[in-house]
């Protein structure tokens, strides 16, 4: 496939171009021309450029346009959606996907591909979890960076989305995500921060929702302060489609480009605001300049001969799909299927795969594999029987004939492989799920199959996690297949037959019940607000802190071989922590494992999860091979957000490092002492006596003054009485002034505190 968009070159800088434009023209540039294109200003040599979805393929619409995945788009490779890619834990692999996406976008003349999405999976009920990578910010950040790196290596711009805190679909265009500072920084913004600071995506897409009451599209704190000033973002902020609430407030807050077109209404508002002196023209200039810069970048990246190899990309989609599947359970090594065994394939999904989620990310695939045909091709037609079992969108357990056919197919085979999953109507952009349960007709078929043949393998297709508790103990093998893109059918066959390893590990916890999940009590909120009451304890952080049982923990996944970890050594320096260990493939097949390093701080002075993922590596080893590997933890990834000084702080102390094959399968443990960042919180009369006494400078000054006014003996009697001290510790020091006989008035205390602060900062 090739595309040859027209080339227009300009030698002027974006600032020079914008300086030559009228206010009307500049305002026009800051809104789309239509659904997918930016506005052109021909006399100034500014062509329009094309933005399209994203994220796991190119959705270039040919005729009618929409952002709901309704109208068809040109064929493009449908790579596995983010839910699958997250499970690979493999940035090198995702960089290749990013590059392939860029090649396809370039061939279609697409300047900006709208993705990746790095929002955190807060609740498994979020209808759009299939578009997000993980419940963990380091994993989302590392993998999101890889996708952006690959994509932008082709000159196509990424659009990192949805910035920020878009963690549910319910009321998504209005809801306020009410989040405390620490979880906001440490969980919900952290992946964005990593991608922005390490890859400089050309664009960031602001989310629909509000954060702590303010729309992302008009949030100066989010767009100007955090994104640009703190993180150094140099690109353009584009609105999510229809996210603009108040265009004038938005542009002042740092929202450069509104999409899609507002039909001229937003431009008129901007022009009026400038003329009425409510908005400085320089603000419009800045936004227009960023648009022109993006257009120039796109022009420079265009290739008249751009094309891509459809077959090669299909093969890559197949490789990634196999690497995404998570083998949750494999008792008695039932998998891989042995050649010669007779197999009953049951479940409509084997023939009609569910391979991507619904909504704006819907890709029109260049081809579509199904597992049944591929299994027959690999195992031989004669040994594979098929029974559909259920209708994918069926809701009642009423088709007795289908059920009986499935049971008899299972009874007549050595092994039954049952394909279950969520129908498209159960999860989509635009609404959240109501339950984690699989549809009842499917569970009824599974029951019938298990009764007919206990040697049953379950393969599931789902964009968000489903409850497995009702059958996990009754089947020997479960393969979590997520949504695997257009080559998912062949990749599933590859994994079932052992042609490929099931390379995936869980990027999100599979809970036992919905009621156990961290956000259960306040998802999706009410009356326009959703309170993130679980705070920092998202995903495995929650279950680990509560020592609560889960179905399968974060990071879990089996292969067809076994690995041994040994020889842990840990060193720390100014850059962070270096972890070394030896990993050995102790089985008889080549295989891949994902080594995970979690860190915790024993006796931390701040609230923390027991362990947090800080580094990981996906390692391929031949049978019997052993290798020393090194994993690096960046010092900044050890930091917590200190709300007292409003900045990242690395705490001093002993850091425990758990190295394992999941957050609950820790194989090696060690620790290292870290010298933290100096931090002194300025004291005030509101500081407690305990806080003052813990500050060496203030403590000395206050004790000396107290000794003078109350007598040294009284002071030492008070300070050496542990009970008394404990009781007084929580007392704000300024309140002493109100006590009879304290010997201090409010001004004196304020003076002493000011002296301590001055001495500390000198």
Q: Residues in the site for ligand BGC, rule: CB under 6 A? A: 53-54, 67, 114, 161, 240-241, 360
Residues 6+ apart with CB under 8 A from 573: none
Question: How far, in Å, CA of 584 to CA of 626, rounded?
Answer: 4
Question: How far, in Å, CA of 761 to CA of 115, rounded?
Answer: 45
Q: Kindly state the helix (H) or strand (E) to which residue 324 belongs, with its residue range.
A: helix 310-324
Report the residue number, 54 or 347, with the smaller CB distance to ligand BGC: 54
Residues 6+ apart with CB under 8 A from 507: 83, 86, 87, 89, 133, 134, 135, 136, 139, 554
Name the minimum Å distance from CB 114 to ligand BGC: 4
Name the minimum Å distance from CB 288 to ligand BGC: 22
Phi-psi region of 461 (alpha: psi -120 to 50; beta: other; left: phi over 0): beta
Tokens 């923990």 found at: 553
Report the residue number, 260 or 485, with the smaller CB distance to ligand BGC: 260
Active-site residue (options: 90, 136, 171, 240): 240
Phi-psi region of 389 (alpha: psi -120 to 50; beta: other; left: phi over 0): left
Report the residue number, 356 or 517, with the smaller CB distance to ligand BGC: 356
Question: How far, in Å, CA of 315 to CA of 159, rounded?
Answer: 26
Name the minimum Å distance from CB 117 to ligand BGC: 7
Q: What φ, ψ does residue 45 adopt, rounded to 5°?
A: 70, 30
Name the minimum Å distance from CB 240 to ligand BGC: 5
Residues 6+ apart with CB under 8 A from 524: 123, 125, 168, 170, 171, 175, 432, 530
β-sheet with 576-585: strand ranges across: 563-573, 576-585, 626-634
Name the minimum Å distance from CB 110 to ligand BGC: 13
Name the minimum Å distance from CB 218 to ligand BGC: 17
Name the minimum Å distance from CB 61 to ligand BGC: 9
Name the minimum Å distance from CB 209 to ligand BGC: 11
Report the residue number, 54 or 254, with the smaller CB distance to ligand BGC: 54
Report the residue number, 119 or 490, with the smaller CB distance to ligand BGC: 119
Report the residue number, 173 or 619, with the smaller CB distance to ligand BGC: 173
Question: How far, in Å, CA of 421 to CA of 459, rounded?
Answer: 8
- Look at residues 526, 531, 552 and name the one whose alpha carbon lies nearest to residue 540: 552
181 is catalytic: no
Name the minimum Å distance from CB 34 to ligand BGC: 13
Question: How far, in Å, CA of 604 to CA of 613, rounded?
Answer: 17
Report the residue number, 195 or 409, with the smaller CB distance to ligand BGC: 195
Question: How far, in Å, CA of 654 to CA of 542, rounded?
Answer: 22
Name the minimum Å distance from CB 60 to ligand BGC: 12
Report the residue number, 360 or 596, with the smaller CB distance to ligand BGC: 360
Instruction: Work out the burial of residue 219: count CB atoms within 10 Å of its CB; fewer than 13 is exposed, 13-18 middle, 19 or more buried.
Output: buried
Tokens 């990834």 found at: 637
Question: How far, in Å, CA of 219 to CA of 607, rounded?
Answer: 28
Report the residue number, 227 or 577, with the smaller CB distance to ligand BGC: 227
Report the residue number, 114 or 752, with the smaller CB distance to ligand BGC: 114
Q: Kindly state the helix (H) or strand (E) to which residue 697 belongs, with its residue range.
A: helix 696-710
Tokens of residue 124, six digits:
């498994």
DSSP-derived letter for residue 432 is: -
Longest dimension (CA), the chain: 99
Which parts of 205-264 fold into alpha helices (H)? 220, 247-253
- 8 Å CB contact between 20 and 75: no
- 8 Å CB contact between 203 and 158: yes
Report the residue number, 204 or 506, with the smaller CB distance to ligand BGC: 204
**Nearest position to ligand BGC, beta carbon:** 67
Question: How far, in Å, CA of 161 to CA of 205, rounded?
Answer: 5
- 8 Å CB contact between 294 and 235: yes
| Beta strand ranges found along 172-298 (DSSP E) | 176-178, 203-206, 210-211, 214-215, 236-239
Name the minimum Å distance from CB 160 to ligand BGC: 11
Q: Report, as residue numbers or ranges, the catalytic residues.
A: 240
């Amino acid at each position: 496939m090739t595309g040859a968009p027209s080339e227009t070159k300009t030698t002027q800088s974006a600032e020079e171009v914008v300086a030559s434009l009228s206010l009307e023209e500049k305002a026009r540039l800051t809104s789309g021309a239509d659904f997918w294109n930016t506005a052109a200003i021909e006399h100034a040599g500014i062509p329009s450029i094309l933005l399209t979805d994203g994220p796991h393929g190119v959705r270039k619409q040919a005729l009618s346009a929409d952002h709901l995945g309704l109208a068809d788009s040109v064929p493009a490779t449908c790579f596995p959606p983010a839910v699958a890619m997250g499970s690979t834990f493999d940035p090198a692999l995702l960089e290749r996907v990013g590059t392939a996406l860029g090649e396809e976008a370039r061939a279609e003349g697409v300047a900006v591909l709208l993705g990746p999405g790095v929002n955190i999976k807060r609740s498994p009920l979020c209808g759009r979890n299939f578009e997000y990578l993980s419940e963990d910010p380091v994993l989302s950040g590392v993998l999101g960076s890889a996708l952006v790196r690959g994509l932008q290596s082709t000159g196509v711009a990424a659009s990192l989305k949805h910035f920020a805190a878009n963690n549910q679909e319910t009321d998504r265009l209005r809801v306020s995500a009410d989040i405390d500072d620490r979880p906001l920084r440490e969980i919900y913004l952290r992946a964005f921060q990593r991608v922005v600071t390490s890859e400089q995506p050309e664009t960031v897409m602001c989310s629909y929702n509000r954060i702590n009451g303010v729309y992302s599209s008009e949030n100066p704190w989010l767009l100007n302060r955090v994104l640009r000033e703190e993180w150094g973002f140099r690109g353009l902020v584009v609105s999510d489609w229809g996210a603009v609430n108040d265009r004038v407030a938005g542009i002042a807050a740092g929202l450069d480009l509104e999409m899609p077109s507002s039909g001229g209404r937003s431009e008129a508002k901007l022009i009026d605001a400038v003329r009425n002196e409510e908005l400085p023209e320089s603000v419009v200039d800045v936004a227009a300049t960023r648009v022109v810069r993006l257009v120039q970048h796109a022009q420079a990246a265009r290739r008249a001969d751009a094309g891509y190899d459809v077959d090669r990309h299909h093969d890559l989609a197949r490789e990634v799909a196999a690497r995404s599947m998570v083998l949750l359970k494999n008792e008695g090594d039932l998998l891989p299927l042995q050649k010669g065994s007779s197999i009953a394939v049951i479940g409509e999904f084997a023939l009609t795969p569910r391979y991507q989620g619904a909504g704006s990310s819907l890709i029109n695939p260049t081809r579509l594999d199904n597992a049944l045909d591929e299994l027959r091709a690999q195992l031989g037609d004669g040994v594979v029987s098929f029974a559909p079992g259920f209708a994918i969108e069926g809701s009642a357990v009423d088709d007795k004939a289908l059920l009986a056919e499935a049971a008899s197919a299972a009874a007549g085979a050595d092994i039954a492989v049952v394909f279950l999953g969520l129908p498209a109507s159960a999860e989509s952009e635009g609404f959240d799920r109501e339950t984690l349960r699989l549809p009842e007709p499917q569970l009824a078929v599974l029951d019938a199959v298990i009764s007919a043949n206990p040697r049953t393998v379950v393969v599931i297709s789902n964009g968000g996690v489903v409850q497995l508790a009702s059958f996990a103990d009754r089947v020997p093998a479960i393969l979590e297949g997520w949504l695997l893109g257009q080559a998912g059918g062949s990749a599933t066959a590859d994994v079932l037959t052992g042609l490929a390893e099931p390379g995936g590990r869980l990027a999100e916890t599979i809970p036992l019940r919905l009621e156990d999940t961290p956000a259960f009590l306040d998802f999706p909120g009410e009356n326009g607000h959703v309170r993130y009451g679980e705070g920092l304890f998202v995903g495995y952080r929650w279950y680990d802190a509560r020592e609560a049982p889960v179905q399968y923990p974060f990071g879990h996944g089996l292969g067809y071989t076994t690995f041994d970890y040994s020889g842990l050594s840990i060193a720390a320096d100014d850059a962070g922590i270096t972890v070394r260990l030896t990993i050995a493939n102790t089985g008889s097949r080549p295989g891949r494992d994902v080594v995970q390093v979690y860190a915790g701080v024993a006796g931390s002075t701040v609230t923390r999860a027991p362990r947090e993922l800080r580094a990981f590596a996906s390692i391929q080893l031949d049978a019997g091979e052993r290798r020393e590997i090194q994993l690096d933890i960046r010092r900044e990834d050890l930091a917590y957000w200190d709300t007292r000084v409003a900045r990242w702080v690395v705490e001093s102390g002993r850091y425990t490092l758990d190295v394992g094959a999941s957050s609950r399968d820790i194989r090696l443990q060690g620790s290292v002492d870290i010298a933290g960042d100096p931090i002194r919180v300025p004291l005030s009369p509101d500081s407690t006596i305990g806080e003052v006494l813990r500050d060496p400078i203030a403590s000395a000054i206050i004790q000396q003054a107290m000794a003078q006014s109350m007598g040294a003996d009284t002071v030492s009697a008070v300070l050496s009485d542990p009970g008394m001290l404990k009781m007084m510790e929580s007392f704000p020091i300024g309140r002493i002034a109100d006590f009879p006989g304290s010997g201090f008035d409010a001004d004196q205390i304020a003076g002493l505190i000011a002296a301590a602060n001055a001495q500390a900062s000198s």
